[in-house]
Structure 1
Amino acid sequence: MPPKRHLTARRVRLGAELRRLREATGMKAREAAALLGADAVQMSQIESGVAGVSAERVRRLAANYACTDDALIEALVAMATDRTHGWWEEYRGVLPPVFLDTAEVEHHATFLREVVITHVPGLLQTADYARAVYAYMMPGLPESELNPRVEHRMRRRAVIDSDNPTPYETIIHEFALRIRVADRNASLAQLLRILDQIEQGHATVRVIPTAQDGFAGAGASMMYTGGPVPHLDTGLRDAPTGTAFIDAEAQLAQLRTLFRKVEKATLDPVASQDFIHRLTREL
């Protein structure tokens, strides 16, 4: 198949998984390429996500890699044959690729778990809240660039704000709920938005109170997304160079452990909902 014009997180992940399967057997790239009647360059393009790969080739490679996990193989085949042209593609060339990759990963997730300390989660933000955050973090950003960022964030909410929402759990620190990124009215609207999503069953929210003892997880912010099989879960964490997409099993295990550890410092969902109600009355 010809090289893809645009790399996407989904294509890159498919290639990475095929490479992992090959490396687990000790097979060289040129040997795997020969199985497909290709050369080492073409194999490199497949494993880097630059070139697509057919369902038949995925199955042939899996068989020669002695992969017996049928669920994983079918999930990889589905990734290879997916022709989804998601709404996020409308922003290609308008926003940095990481915006598109994040939306794509969320769209295909079977569940979403998130920990946030300093800001309300993007999937729960109002437009006014998102606008205030972007405007503050990127001063001088013209409206022509600010507006697409806010619009994109609002459209991301569709994964949880729909008739068939993706299961979503989030842990939010009290600090993020109290800080006024704009004004009193915007803060109140933001808290009411969170409560609305809870009441509709679109989000399970747990709050970490500021007074909680033994919480040293100020750097714990992350998102964990479920794949069609656990092996294809993905983690997202902020890094100095931007959002890092995590797919190595050892690192995913660390994120799962981190989520459970942070969860121990939270109020339960009912108490958290009551806590947010009290914050609205304070405003």
Structure 2
Amino acid sequence: MPPNNPPTARRQRLGAELRKLRERAGMSATAAAGLLGGNQAQISNIESGRHGVSAERVRTLACNYACTDEALINALVGMTGERGRHWWEEYRGILPVGLLDLAELEHHAVALRVAYTMHIPGLLQTPEHARTIFRQVVPSLPPHEVEHRVSHRIKRQVILFGDKSTPLTAVIHEAALRMMFGGPEIARDQLRHVLDMSEHEHITIRVIPFSIGAFPGSGQSVFYAVGPVPQLDTVELDQSHGPVLIDAEAQLHRYRMLLNQLEGVALAEAESRTFIHKIAQNLGKV
């Protein structure tokens, strides 16, 4: 079988989950390949994401591995198929692959939970706010790449609109709300946009005020994508070199606990809207 295009993070995740099933079954790659009538390289290519795998083959592998979790099997089957021509593919070769993987992750998530202490979540940013941030990247980005990143960030927000809008719960620290990125006018427009977005039924915005003092995970930003089954949840962490995706079971449990605690100390939705409105008033009338 000839190699496909470079694997996406989604295909790599599918391969990794199939490897977990095989290892839990105590089966070697060679033995697994034998049951398929293939060789060890075939299994390795599937598990690394280098080669795609059909829905039928996923079900066969799950059966061979004695997996009886039908919800997990169906979720894995849903990850099969050739890579579609989604909107983020137009940025392939233009922007870092990690940004495309993030858009793909958001597209397939059934819900999103995020917590930010120094920035407004990307899914809630205005173009001017995003542009101001990208102009501060080190080393500096050329103007055309700044614009590519801005357009990519705004297009990501499509998941929040339409008939199948993805539920979003965002915890934002007061520090992020008071950042004057781009000056008072841009900052005021950004806060107005956050308030407008908070009125959507599927979007929950909670604020952690300075008065709370110390809180769990202070200084850390967390992006948690909820999968169709808990085993397929994913955490994305922003790093200076790009997004990092985490899916180890222990780490997922840790970040679920962290988000639960952050939401526990944050203001309620109505209080949060009032709080944001007051900050915006200090910048001028909303």
- The aligned amino acid for 1:77 is V
Partner of residue 183, structure 1: 183
**Contact persistence 1:161–1:202 (CA under 8 A):** no
Aligned residue in 2 for 1:80:
80
- Structure 1 contact 3–52 (Cα < 8 Å) conserved: no
Deviation at residue 91 of structure 1 after TM alignment: 0.4
Separation (CA, whole Å) in 1 of partners of 2:41 and 2:273: 55
What is the alpha-carbon distance in structure 1 between the residues aligned to residue 134 and residue 202 of structure 2? Answer: 25
* One-letter amino acid of the structure 2 residue matched with residue 172 of structure 1: I
One-letter identity of the residue aligned with 1:57? R
User: Residues 45-67 of structure 1: CA distance to partner in whole angstroms, max 9, x if unpaired?
Assistant: 10010101111211111001000
Which piece of structure 1 moves more, 54-63 or 103-112? 54-63
Letter in 2 for 1:203: I
- Counterpart code for 1:5: N
**Runs of at least 4 residues off by over 4 Å:** none
Gaps of 5+ in 2: none
1:5 matched to 2:2: no
Is the 1:2–1:52 Cα contact (8 Å) retained in structure 2?
A: no
| Residue 274 of structure 2 corresponds to residue 277 of structure 1 | no
Partner of 1:110: 110
Residue identity matched to 1:206: R
Using the aligned pairs only, state the percent identity: 50
Q: Which residue type is aligned with residue 114 of structure 1?
A: V
1:21-54 CA distance string (max 9 Å, x none) = 0000111111111122221112111001010111
Query: Which moved further from structure 2: 214-223 or 51-60?
Result: 214-223
The alpha-carbon distance between structure 1 residues 45 and 126, as it changes in their structure 2 partners (threshold 3 A), is same
Identify which range, 169-178 or 255-264, moves more after superposition. 255-264
Aligned to 1:223: 223
Displacement of 1:100: 0.4
Which range moves more in the overlay, 147-156 or 1-10?
1-10
CA deviation string 1:107-158 (max 9, x = no partner): 0000000000110000000000001001012353211211100000000011
The 3 A distance-change label for structure 1 pair 140 and 247 is closer
Structure 1 range deviating more: 33-42 or 184-193: 33-42
CA-atom RMSD, angstroms? 1.4
Q: What are the ranges of 5 or more consecutive residues in structure 1 without an aligned counterpart?
A: none
State the TM-score, normalized to the length of structure 1.
0.96
Counterpart mapping for 1:82-161 below 5 A: 83-138=83-138, 140-161=140-161
**Counterpart residue number, 1:49:** 49
C-alpha separation in 2, matches of 1:219 and 1:84: 37
**Which segment is superposed worse, 188-197 or 133-142?**
133-142
Provide the rounded CA distance (Å) in 1 between the counterparts of 2:265 and 2:219: 14
- Alignment match, 1:197: 197
Structure 2: distance between partners of 1:30 and 1:240? 39
1:80 is paired with a residue whose SS is coil
Aligned-pair CA distance for 1:218:
2.2
Whether 2:281 is the aligned partner of 1:268: answer no
C-alpha distance in 2, partners of 1:66/1:6? 30
Aligned 8 A contact 2:123 2:153 in 1: yes
Q: How far apart are 1:241 and its partner, in Å? A: 4.3
Task: State how far apart, in whole Å, the 2-side matches of 1:14 and 1:188 are.
Answer: 42
Whether the 8 Å CA contact 2:216–2:258 is kept in 1: the answer is no
Alpha-carbon distance in 2 for matches of 1:239, 1:280: 29
Whether 1:37 aligns to 2:37 is yes
Q: Measured at CA, do residues 50 and 68 of structure 1 come closer, stay the same or move farther in structure 2, by a change above 3 Å?
A: same
Match of 1:60, SS state, is helix
